[in-house]
Structure 1
Amino acid sequence: MQIILKWLPSLGARLSNERAAIWGRRVGWLLGSLLRYRRAEVERTLRRCLPNRSAAAYRALSAGSYENLGRVIMETLQLTQLDRTWLERNVSLEGLEIIRQALSQGRGALMLTAHLGHFQLPAMIACFFEIPITVITKTVKPAILNDYWIQLRRRYQVKAVPHRGSFRACLAALRANEMLGFILDQNMKRHQGIFVDFFGRPACTSPGLALLSAMAGSPVIPVFCTRRPDGHHQITVQPALAPPPDRQPQTIQRATQAYTAIIEAAIREHPEQWTWIHRRWRPQPLALDQAPSGQAPPP
């Protein structure tokens, strides 16, 4: 296993953008067309979330989503090449001054993001702009890949806290005036989340981002990374959102709904670059008070 771990950075260092794109398409084809991993489910979800399109359009969006997943895998290997020259050649960053302005207030900032495009890239390049960052992570399987991911984070000065039981550590990062990365498009178990509207259906969502913002007085800054047709990465920083005024359930609900709407808008601009294989809507509300915005769940 250690030999494999040592081999991965070497492979990444030799992987050109062209080869990453080619192999990414092949991996995507393998998952989506040959193995057809959740392919029918993905296309049903696309029809529900993005109605009134042709069958060919849904097939293209589905294939694009699998290709994006394959390219993210290859681009993750490429992260070993990160330096200022690589950044100047492959990445455009818009809105950096928004982050600097937020951190100048001394209360840290929360980065709202999603599994869109090369979603790991914004955190990995933060060190090149002297932005201290902590991310909330899950353990990756198999263990060999998790070890590789840990090595990458250390290399680029990205601190990490586990996604469970880390609320105090997250608050500490914000109070140390760091940026805290928070991916909000993942499904939550019914007892762990709150329901908000996402593409017209209730989606169980973590209230943690809104609660952290309210408790620490830290702004929330949407940051998304998308891929241009030529493979160039576009990182867009949107205007900062003020912290919720209190921690009342209705306030946290409204804030979480607002954050989710921002994610939905970003996905609608680049639907082929989101991970539609994720079962985002698996639990549905059981009672009136669990439905988004206090509305009853659909029959």
Structure 2
Amino acid sequence: MLDYVYLILFKLFVFFIKYVPRFITDSILNFFAFFIYKIDSRHKKVAKVNLDLVYEDRKSERDKKLIIKKCYKNLLFNMRDFVENQDISEKNLLKKVTIHNEHFYTNVHEAGKGVIFLTAHYGNWELLPLCVGANYGKLWGVGRNLDSKKMNDVLQKNRNQFNVHMLEKTGAIRGLLKALKAGENVGLLVDQNTSEKEGILINFFGKLARHTPSAALIARKTQTPIIPAYITTDDYQNYDITFYEPIITDKTDNSEEDIRKSVQAQADITQKIIEKKPDEWFWLHRRWKSQHGELYK
């Protein structure tokens, strides 16, 4: 029953986005973003802890508050874009984006290889894989299904129409290796906290944090370049996707050090991107929970 409630609410949101003028939806979404910011004390605290850890007193309390508010706005405006992308044509989807440094991808792809795209919960991270899949063919990622089957079907349909395919976490490595062997691309989000068993410790914004080694493990095994890719916007209508210099994972006799160096390089580029425009990162996640869990209580 609850599954259908979610679907009905989503359909109402779709109707609202499609048939109400944009200037009105802008105002309403801004209002709801502010309203959620005011009442969501739990996630607001998480974001504040993260910002205090990263910036200490290098950013004012006012600036930190503005960044947190923008997090909520980003989520709602990303939801609107998700709705607008239902059944959109490939041509109109790609009109939204400008891709920078495309040569970092084409130089690898021309050799007949797939690549590992690396990104974070930054900007409109749901739009990024759609554009990569539409432009460069099949893209394989990893993620768990939504609790709502109906909404999960909507999400998967939106992804599949642009060559984006998701694998369940259990056994995903095998599927990703198979994709790369076939010359297809892989996309991974790597900026969230992991368990001690699943992650390794690296330096992130001057603090120890656990980071998934999955991209590094695959890259080392297959000697596939990792291409960092991030998406940004200034108006929630036009987006910039930027590729960065590939991360090459060494394959020496010291596998542990090879993986550590690759993972640290991944964290470093993510940090660099966040430092440029901190208000586009998803600060609402307990990123440093493994080492500073007491701060989030």
Q: How does the TM-score come out when normalised to structure 2?
A: 0.86
Match of 1:198 in 2: 204
Q: Which runs of 5+ in 2 are unaligned?
A: 293-297
Distance 1:8 1:120, change over 3 A: farther
Secondary structure, aligned partner of 2:85: helix
| 1:282 maps to 2:289 | yes
The structure 1 residue matched to 2:173, chosen from 147, 167, 173, is 167
Output the aligned Cα RMSD: 2.5
Distance of 1:102 and 1:179 partners within structure 2: 11
Cα deviation for residue 71 of structure 1 reads 1.7
Contact 2:50 2:286 in 1 (8 A): no
Letter in 2 for 1:28: A
Match of 2:182 in 1: 176
Secondary structure, aligned partner of 1:124: helix
Contact 1:24 1:69 in 2 (8 A): no
Match of 1:36 in 2: 41
| 1:270 maps to 2:274 | no
The structure 2 residue matched to 1:207, chosen from 213, 216, 239, is 213
Contact 1:8 1:77 in 2 (8 A): no
The structure 2 residue matched to 1:4, chosen from 8, 25, 31, is 8
Secondary structure, aligned partner of 1:283: helix
| 1:144 maps to 2:150 | yes
What fraction of aligned residue pairs are identical, expressed as a percent? 21
Cα deviation for residue 20 of structure 1 reads 5.8
Cα deviation for residue 26 of structure 1 reads 3.5
Deviations 1:139-194 (A, max 9, x none): 22333321211111222221211123211111001111111001000111111110
Contact 1:122 1:225 in 2 (8 A): yes
Contact 2:249 2:259 in 1 (8 A): no
Distance of 2:255 and 2:263 partners within structure 1: 12
Distance of 2:13 and 2:110 partners within structure 1: 36
Match of 2:54 in 1: 49
Contact 1:31 1:66 in 2 (8 A): yes
Answer with 11-20 or 134-143: which moved more: 11-20
Distance of 1:283 and 1:240 partners within structure 2: 28
| 1:125 maps to 2:92 | no
Match of 2:109 in 1: 103
Distance of 2:22 and 2:218 partners within structure 1: 38
Cα deviation for residue 86 of structure 1 reads 2.7
Contact 1:107 1:217 in 2 (8 A): no
Match of 2:262 in 1: 255
Answer with 181-190 or 158-167: which moved more: 158-167
Letter in 2 for 1:185: D
Letter in 2 for 1:109: V
Letter in 2 for 1:66: Y
Distance 1:269 1:82, change over 3 A: farther
Runs of 4 or more, structure 1, over 3 Å off, are 2-24
Match of 2:67 in 1: 61
Contact 1:108 1:178 in 2 (8 A): yes
Q: How does the TM-score come out when normalised to structure 1?
A: 0.86
Count of residues paired in the alignment: 285
